[in-house]
Every structure is written in structure tokens, then in C-alpha cells.
Amino acid sequence: MTQDAKRIVATYYDSWRDKDFDTLRSVLADDATFRGPLGQAEGADACVKGIEGLSGIVTDVVVRKMIADGPDVLTWFELHTTVAAAVPTATWAHVEDGRITRVRAAFDPRPLVQ
């Protein structure tokens, strides 16, 4: 399970970076949720819509470390944008039945909203 969860979450980040929103949607459970400093989303379509919106300023998503523990995956990455220096970000994703059911993000949003 650990390697499958890690592979699924890696696909999430790869598809986000590549702006491949169909693949991104395919790894999210229909009832997936997101919570982070800049907002929240209920349901996979809302999660994708939020990432699509953010992708307008995202130039790269550079994963530095990913650690899996069963169905839970912690990821440390740098969010590169057109509006700020790289923003260090940590997320906790939970995977059930081959799809991500929730993502929780932690980062300092101030550089993005100034």
C-alpha cells in the first residue's frame, strides 16, 4: 500500500506541474477534500478547479521529499510562481482505494498574497 500511495501522490504532483488536469482528476476520489492557507475545496471537481486557478501563476512544482506511511503521504515541495520566490510547502495526502481522498497543505501564504 505504501508504494501505491506514494505513486498516486507523485502522479498528483506531476500532473499539476504539467497542467494535465484530466490526469490530476483521475487520482482524486469523487469526494476528495482540500484544506490549506488560501482556501478549501469539497469534491474532486472543486479541487481540480482550485488547482487550475492557482496554475495561472505557477511556473513549477518541485518535489524535494516524499515519505509514505501506508495510505498517508507527506510531501515537501517548492511552489514556484510568477508572483513570489519559491514557497516551501508541506502537504499530507490520504489515499483510499487507489485515489486521494484528502489533501492538507501548510505554508506561509504571505508571499503569494502581497
Per-residue pLDDT at 62: 97
Using alpha carbons only, give the angle 108, 45, 66 rounded to the nearest 5 degrees: 45
Per-residue pLDDT at 1: 66
Mean pLDDT of the chain: 95
| pLDDT over 90 at 113, yes or no | no
Convert 31-44 to b/e letters by CB count within 10 Å (16 or more is b). ebbbebeeeebeeb
Rounded to whole angstroms, the Cα distance separating 35 from 56 reads 20
Q: Catalogue all structural domains in the chain, each as residue range(s) with its CATH number.
A: 2-105 (3.10.450.50)
Read off the pLDDT of residues 9-59 as tens digits, 9 standing for 90 and up. Answer: 999 999 999 999 999 999 999 999 999 998 999 999 999 999 999 999 999
